[in-house]
Amino acid sequence: MYAIIKDRGKQYKVTPGESILIDSIEGRKEADQIEFNEVIAVGGTDEVNIGTPLVKGAKVVGEIEGQKKADKIYVFKFKRRKDYRRKAGHRQLLTQVKIKEIIV
């Protein structure tokens, strides 16, 4: 069984027992339960249940495993012949969530 969930503008395909990385959730600790109520689709059985726009009564329950940082990316701006160069780095804060169950 799988589900497609929506969390703060991004969509994730999840299955029970899987760990996913989502944008950082502030104020939560490890082993806290988290519920995703915006379920777009549920599948994996005989048929796929697609919501209009959400599946009614469906939710995904997960547990926070920890906070992480993504790999560093570099942003480099450059204008030729103008002696203009800017370099900046960024590391996105992430939360690792283990999916416990999908409730339909």
pLDDT in tens, 74-98: 999 999 999 999 999 999 999 999 9
pLDDT, one tens digit per residue, over 20-73 is: 999 998 888 888 999 999 999 999 878 888 988 999 999 999 999 999 999 999
3-state helix, strand, coil in the chain (%, to 5): 0, 60, 40
**CA 53: distance to chain centroid?**
19
Backbone angles phi, psi at 91, to 5 degrees: -125, 115
Query: Could you give the number of structural domains in the chain?
Result: 1
In sequence order, what are the beta bridge partners of 84?
Answer: 79
Residue 47 is part of which domain span? 2-103
The predicted structure's pLDDT at residue 29? 86
Torsion of CA 8, 14, 16, 21, to 10 degrees: -60
Q: Which residues contact 58 (CB under 8 A, 6 or more apart)?
A: 3, 39, 42, 49, 51, 102, 103, 104
User: What's the pTM?
Assistant: 0.80
Q: Which amino acid is at 37?
A: N
